[in-house]
Amino acid sequence: MDVSQLKRIPLFSEVPDEALQKIAPFATSEEWPEGKEIVKEGGFSNHFYAIEAGSAKVEREGDHVADLSDGDVFG
């Protein structure tokens, strides 16, 4: 992933390019099929996700609690 891709994510939009160049090599782009569970409640994950395009549903104990979309982050 390059700096310009990271800049499209609101969280990183004001971060200087020099700083983003340090984290860009560790960032990857992935696509997930609709309905795929990305993070399981109560599970362990050391990943940080940013939604470039699309949406995700957040559930707690099986109850819908939030919807995430373009630019939102989680993890």
Digit-coded pLDDT (tens) for 39-57: 988 888 889 999 989 999 9
pLDDT attached to residue 44: 84
pTM, to two decimals = 0.80
**CATH class, range 3-74:** mainly beta
Contact 73, 11 (CB under 8 A): yes
Q: Tell me which DSSP letter residue 12 carries.
A: G
For 34: left if phi > 0, alpha if psi spans -120 to 50, otherwise beta; the answer is beta
